[in-house]
Structure 1
Amino acid sequence: MEIIIDSLENIDAVAKTFAGHMGDSKVFAFYGNMGAGKTTFIKALCRYMGVDDVITSPTFSIVNEYHCAEDCGIIYHFDFYRIKKLDEVYDMGYEEYFYSGSLCFIEWPELIEDLLPEDALKVTIEETESGARVVRF
């Protein structure tokens, strides 16, 4: 599927559409260049799901935990941009998160590709020449 984010004004509508197509998937791997809008889209998705917490990029903490008001429990938001070795991911206990049954939104999954669950849904976000974003999954 492909969804276009024409501007920040319609990102919430796109998050709603995306959420409607998430199905039973729990782990979502968000691919895209720096500045493509991965964090911004995940923030919109979390807002749509009823997260009242401050939603920030977990670049330095690697993982943020949000509590969802829409009966989806906990959402884990990962950013593996700063990971230098897979040992760091093993040490943080990634399996407890990825196989918890909670939603996991992962930025920079290409750095831990071998550790992703087989059923992880791959999502790409690309910027077009016009500045719009294309979300594919």
Structure 2
Amino acid sequence: MEWTVNNVDEWQLVADQVAQSLEYNILLLKGNLGAGKTTFTKYLLNTLGSKDEVSSPTYAIVNEYSVNQGSIFHFDLYRMKTIEEVYDIGIDEYLDNAWLCIIEWPEIYAPEFTGVPHHEMLIENSDTGRKVIFK
């Protein structure tokens, strides 16, 4: 699926369609700084029924949210320098016990997703907004 997002309110359509399309419990979010990864996550969590205040996990590394289906863990691996640091936060346990894991900046851990069913979303800045690709 692909969208063009020209204003913040258009994230709702993206979130609605992604929520209906989730098949796996892992969603990797890729894009430059300021592309809209956390903004999208706010809309998605709201769509999924979370009543929690959603914030970027940049410093906490992981935030937990609750929905009727179970726990959602929102990761930001931007500051992780090695795959060992990712293991040290206990990512495997989160992945095994979550209804959904949303992972921003997953590149450091990407090799571990080879052969593991997951979704990917790429958000690219353009002159007029953002191009969003979900697979």
Same fold by TM-score, threshold 0.5 exceeded? yes
Aligned to 2:66: 67
Find the residue that maps to 2:92 and give its secondary structure.
Answer: helix
Identity in percent: 40
What RMSD in Å do the two structures reach over aligned CA positions?
1.4
Contact 1:4/1:14, CA 8 A, preserved across alignment: no
Find the residue that maps to 2:97 and give its secondary structure.
Answer: coil
Provide structure 1 residue ranges, at least 5 long, that are not aligned to the other structure.
Answer: none
Does residue 26 of structure 1 match 2:19? no
TM-score by length of 1: 0.90
Provide structure 2 residue ranges, at least 5 long, that are not aligned to the other structure.
Answer: none
Does residue 116 of structure 1 match 2:122? no
2: distance between equivalents of 1:88 and 1:129?
36
Deviates more, 1:87-96 or 1:29-38: 87-96
**Which amino acid is the alignment partner of residue 93 of structure 1?**
G
Higher-helix-fraction structure: 2
2: distance between equivalents of 1:9 and 1:28?
21
1: distance between equivalents of 2:14 and 2:120?
17
TM-score by length of 2: 0.91
CA deviation vs aligned residue, 1:44-88 (integer Å, no higher than 9, x gap): 1011111111110101111000011xx221110000001122221
1: distance between equivalents of 2:98 and 2:65?
14
Q: Give the drift of 1:4.
A: 2.0
* Pairs aligned (count): 133
